[in-house]
Each structure stands twice: as C-alpha cells, then as structure tokens.
Amino acid sequence: MQHSDETQRAARQESARLTAESVHGVALTWVDNAGLTRVKAVPVGRLAHAATRGVGMSPVFDVYLVDDSYTTSRHIGGPDGDLRLVPDLERLTVLAGQPGWAWAPVDRYDQQGRPYPACQRLFARRMARRAAERGIELRMGFETEWVVQRDGAYPWAGPAYGMARVVELSDYVNEVLRTLAAQGVEVLQIHPEYAAGQFEVSVAPADPVGAADLAVLVRETIRAVSVRHGLTALFGPAVEAGGVGNGGHLHLSLWRDGRNLCRDGEGPFGMTDDSESFLAGVLDALPALMAIGAPTPASYLRLQPSHWAGVFQCWGLENREAALRFITGAPDDPDGANAEVKCFDPAANPYLVTGAVIAAGLAGIAAGARLPDPVRGDPAVTGADGPGAAASADGAGGTAAGDKATRGVTGTPARLPRSLPEALDHFERSDVLRDALGEALFEAVLAVRRAENELFAGRAPQQIADATRGRY
C-alpha cells in the first residue's frame, strides 16, 4: 500500500477527470472465495484518500458462502480485524452501462500496509511474477457465458447458435457490444450459445491479473445492460438441472521475448518444450484445480459427458470434449496458438483461476513434464472407465508429472472429479497449490468449499441450480 505523493497526485488527477465526465461514485470490487464480486463504493472526492489509505473491509468475507452465510478457517473467520481495500488506478474505468459510476479492482492490505496473505488478486500477481522469473509471460482470457431471462422465462424462439436469437435480442446484443467498446474492452466475438437465452462473449487476452479484472468488468457490464433492458442475467454454472450450463473457459498462451511458445517448436503440434511442459503440468493438476475452477456443487451439474464441458482428463487438438483443448491457429497468425481449459465455470474466482493455473504449469516446467498422447473424438463414446480411470491420483502434488504410465496413456482418459468432495480430496493433497496459495488462502478456500458442500447436501439438482444461478 503506497502513501506516496505521486499516488495522491495521480488519484487527484483521476478524480478531476471523473468529475468532468459527470461521474460521482467509484465502485471498488474484489472477488471472494465463493466467486461473488463484493464491493465498497466511494464518492469521487474520496478517491485520493482510498488510493493512499485504503477503504476498510472485514477479512471475514474470505469465508463467506454463496448464500451470504459464513464459515471459519484456521486463519480467517469471526468479527475481528480489518483490511484496507486499495484501488488499482491503472484499471480505473468509467462504466458506460452505469451512468455516473466508475469502477476499479482493489488489492487488499492489512492496517500496517502489508500485503494481505489471502488477497486473491495479489496471489495472481505473485504467480505472474514467478513465471516472469523464468522468462515467461502469460497471456490469458476468459470466455463469459450467461443466460438472459425476462420475468423468469425465455420468450425467444431462436435456435442454438442461431441468427434468429440475435435478431430477437438485437438491441440488447448491440448495447452489450457498444458498452464494452466504450469501456475500452476489445471484443473478439459474441454469439448465441446452446441453451435457451444463452450467449457468450470472448475478449482479447491480457496479462493474468488483467484477464481476471476483465472477467469481472465484462460480467458486471453485461449485468448492467441486462437490467436496463428489463432482463435478468444469470451466470451460474447450472441454470436448469439437466441442461447445458454456463462455462467460464480459460484461454492461455506462453510468450518469451515476443515469441509465442505455443508454436514453432519441436513438440506436439508445434509447441516448444516449455509450452508442452506447462500444459502437461496443468493437465496433471486438473483434478485438484477443479476445486478452484469448478468450485460449487452446482458446477458438477454442468460437468456432463458429451456436453463440450471437458469432463475427461485429457487433451486434444481442437477437441471440445477434452478438458484441455489445444488450438494451433492459422499458419500466418503468430498470436493464434493457445490452449483452452474447458472444465471451469463462472462460479470460480478468476484471480484464483489464473494464479493456480500458472502454479500448476510452472510445476510442470520444473518437472520437465511431457503431455500424453492427444485424444481424438468423444471419450464418452470411446470409453473412459478403462485402465486410465485412476490416473493422476496425486493431483498437482503428484511426483510423476512426466511419467506417462501413471496418467492413463495406456488406457482411456480418466474422468475428472464428479463431485466437489472428490475435487477437494485432490486439492487437499496438492503440495503445489498449497505452496502457491499460502496457508491462509489455501485454508480459506478449503473451508468455503467444505461449507458450501454441506450447505447443499441433500438438495435436489434443480434446487441447487435455483439457489445459485442468479448469485454470481
């Protein structure tokens, strides 16, 4: 936390700019371990104070659950203590969908100005620095999927991926695009998705912290535009039990000195050694990473075979049923090669996702891991309960990241965890994620996951979907 004159001058300049643009309030947001975006807001005139002294907030929100109840952990819980929320002025954005408002994400510090060990955004930044120490720059981007309803119904007849749905909601989709553009967000594509009333938008990649910031900004922009059109935007992983839910896929590429390490190498489909090892580390860690990227019982309603949800621990070239999908891009597009993690959803805290994926990937590089053979076709059709079903039992903490014989290569791909408790078993055993997150954050995540599993124990699938779909 900085108290410098330079920070105060920058904040005063931003305050003057916001006032000139008729902005009166600044929303300061962070994302808790349950995946909910929390906020404190300040008048524009208090922005300089917030930037230098922070805004007070209890640490207990790190153990809040999706229903606003709370649990406790070994290091965090109860009414005592206070933190300082410090806005990142470089991310300050005037909100085109909320006239009179601006937004900035925050980093969290203790009262003495020291980095708060359980700050998810600082965790993502720490992992990005760890990659940079190896000469690796990560570019990441989230796909945002959501469902819109009007008065609890879907009054649109347009088919999946159909132009009819764009026509039916033309003004709405147009305003989503216009509003994002006004906020400086570069949209790559937007389209109707499979489920009724469902859409997806993809934005340009950014650094790991910036990608998570964009995930928050895009979601809240969509929410604001939806409200102005009399619509409700639902971001939960399961909207209707048994249906196709919302994914929160993560795209990533590795770069060094301006070169995309996902292409022009000697590895599979042109990967360099570092790129292959990084992706092998992510693939090996997926059972444990599910506790980060598929964090709620509702997530496992979405994770069904043959739904393009990536429920098998395998990778493939342009295979939308593989949990890790590799994309080569066009031969003349050096930016196009990247990988997509398909098994994550919008209930996940995006800062935890980017940081944890980096930690797993760097562990793969340290181990010199190599990818198993790629999978073609749908593993649900070819079979996924063969010799590989017990693969990667050690999750990210396993010692055989490069040992293909332990990861199901000789058989069919293993099914990723089918429930949150199963994912938590892998998460608890992951030395890689425990070391990366640190004890305070690791234990807080674990406590929230256990408590949410208890919260929804015994509920029918549709009850779980109903209770969570509108919370994120």
Report the predicted TM-score, pTM, of the whole model to 2 decimal places: 0.93
Cβ–Cβ contacts within 10 Å for residue 226, how many? 21
Gap between the Cα atoms of 201 and 183, Å rounded = 15
Choosing from 89, 116, 143, the residue where a domain stops is 116
Average pLDDT over residues 129-155: 96
* 105 and 132 in a common domain: no
Q: What integer best gives the mean pLDDT of the chain? A: 92
* 149 and 91 in a common domain: no
* 98 and 142 in a common domain: no
* 389 and 290 in a common domain: yes
* 242 and 164 in a common domain: yes
For helices 208-228 and 170-182, angle between their N-to-C axes, nearest 10 degrees: 140
Residue 268 clears pLDDT 80, i.e. is over it? yes
Q: Chain centroid to CA 158: how far?
A: 29
Residue 160's CATH number: 3.30.590.10
Instruction: Quote the pLDDT of residue 190.
Output: 97
Residue 461 lies in a domain: yes
Q: Which domain holds residue 90?
A: 5-116
Residue 121 lies in a domain: no
* 138 and 47 in a common domain: no
* 432 and 347 in a common domain: yes
* Res. 3 pLDDT band, cuts 50 70 90: low
* 68 and 217 in a common domain: no
Choosing from 116, 137, 155, the residue where a domain stops is 116
Residue 196 lies in a domain: yes
Instruction: Quote the pLDDT of residue 2.
Output: 58
Residue 42's CATH number: 3.10.20.70
Contact 295, 289 (CB under 8 A): no
Gap between the Cα atoms of 46 and 266, Å rounded = 55
* 187 and 76 in a common domain: no
DSSP structure class, residue 412:
P
H helices present in 350-430, as ranges? 350-367, 379-382, 420-428
pLDDT, tens digit (0-9, with 9 covering 90-100), for 415-462: 999 999 999 999 999 999 999 999 999 999 999 999 999 999 999 999
* 100 and 131 in a common domain: no
Cβ–Cβ contacts within 10 Å for residue 283, how many? 26
Residue 393 lies in a domain: yes
As for how many domains the chain has, the answer is: 2
Contact 51, 11 (CB under 8 A): yes
* 155 and 81 in a common domain: no
* 461 and 378 in a common domain: yes
Choosing from 116, 151, 182, the residue where a domain stops is 116
Residue 258 lies in a domain: yes
